[in-house]
Amino acid sequence: MRVCTECGGELATVFRFCPWCAAPQRSKLVEFFRGHPRDRGRALRVSRYLTEDPHVRFSVWSPGGVAEAAVSLEEDEAERLARFLADPRVGRPTALRRLRALIPR
C-alpha cells in the first residue's frame, strides 16, 4: 500500500490512478498496441509522460524488439489525435470547404 500524493488516500502500488481522486500515480504510462496482420510482429508503443513537460511519445517496435521510429506529440496534438480516433469525422472538411478548395483564387 502507498498514499496518493494528491488526496492522501491509500492505494495499492500497482494502481496507475488514485481510486479516490483519479490523480495519476506514475510519471509515465505505457501501453503496447498490436499491429495490423499486414504488419505482423510490429507493435506501437505509446508512452504518456505526466511530467512538467507533458507529452505523448509513439514508437514503432519491430519483431526483434527494436524501436524503428519514434515521434513525440505535445498534449494538444495528442488530444486532437484522441478525438480523431474516437470520431474520424472530427477535423474532416465540410462539403462547403471541399467545394471552396476547388475554386481557383
Q: How far is the CB of 5 from Zn ion (least distance, A)?
A: 8
Binding span for Zn ion by CB under 5 A among 10-18, 37-45, 65-73, 87-95? 10-18
Question: Does 10 interact with Zn ion (rule: CB under 5 A)?
Answer: no
What is d(CA 18, CA 35) in angstroms, rounded to the nearest whole number? 31
Residue 98, CB-side half-sphere exposure with 13 Å CA sphere = 5
Question: Does 23 interact with Zn ion (rule: CB under 5 A)?
Answer: yes
Residue closer to Zn ion (CB basis): 2 or 83 = 2
Residue closer to Zn ion (CB basis): 6 or 87 = 6
Pick from 46, 45, 50, 58: nearest CA to 18 = 50
